[in-house]
Amino acid sequence: MANSKLIVIEGPQGAGKTTITDYIRHKLPYTNLYRLNGSNDSSPTGKAKSVEMYTDLLDYIEKLQNKNINLLFDRTFFTEAIYCRLGFKEFSYDDVFDVFLERLANFDFETYYITLYLSDTNEFETRLARSDKAIIKYAKFDKDSSIKQQDAYLKMADEVKQKFGDKIKVINIDTCIGLEGVKEEIMKYLG
């Protein structure tokens, strides 16, 4: 029986992943936070790099089973699959995604897959404007792109639940309820 949590937070740009993962990291004792961005190489060579990186990551996670530590991820291979499905990459990731997902589902952790989303998609404009001014000078994010990502992430959450809902707790949280509401909702699940 798992005694540690493995938590994956996913969602579109502007949904609040950084804020929420920072909160969870400080709220849950013995929690390591990992922020992953994947490979920016969208060619087939990039796929090989990504597959190697996430295979190594899953090997690392496997070694940490039963070590009484919680693992918290701000993005993982789910994002790589989403970007491929949306056509941002020149390759498909569905073949390795299924392998990675099955492996994740079979680790001895209490595993959570949490998708953050915005029910009021107009809120993306405000949030992305803040992000653009703060730290992201090299990439251009926009509302339409975030909405497409959000739709893909919510569809993926349904897919994960259908395939491994007995092993992975799939949770969708609307961050339009405000930061305190999101914190309360998160801790309702994570304890």
CATH code of the domain covering residue 11: 3.40.50.300
Q: At what angle do helices 94-105 and 143-164 cross, to 10 degrees?
A: 50
What is the residue-averaged pLDDT of the chain?
Answer: 90
Predicted local distance difference test score (pLDDT) of residue 134: 45
**Residue 13 banded pLDDT, cuts 50, 70, 90:** confident
Residue of 14 and 96 predicted with greater confidence: 96
Pairwise pLDDT comparison (39 vs 186), residue with the higher score: 186
What does the alpha-carbon distance between residue 115 and residue 175 come to, in Å, rounded to a whole number? Answer: 10
Tally of domains within the chain: 1
pLDDT of residue 124: 85
pLDDT tens digits, residue range 94-151?
999 999 999 999 999 999 999 999 999 888 888 777 654 444 443 456 788 889 999 9
Parent domain of 140: 5-190
Instruction: Determine what percent of the chain is predicted with pLDDT higher than 90.
Output: 74
Contacts of residue 57, Cβ cutoff 8 Å, sequence gap at least 6: 36, 76, 77
Residue 137 pLDDT: 41
Amino acid at residue number 115: T
**What is the average pLDDT across 87-95?**
91
| Rounded CA separation 176/15 (Å) | 9
- 16-48 pLDDT, tens digit each: 999 999 999 999 999 999 998 767 788 889 899
Q: Three-state SS for 65?
A: coil
Per-residue pLDDT band at 187 (split at 50, 70, 90): very high
Q: In this predicted model, which residue has the larger pLDDT, 81 or 142?
A: 81
Q: Are 125 and 135 in contact (CB under 8 A)?
A: no
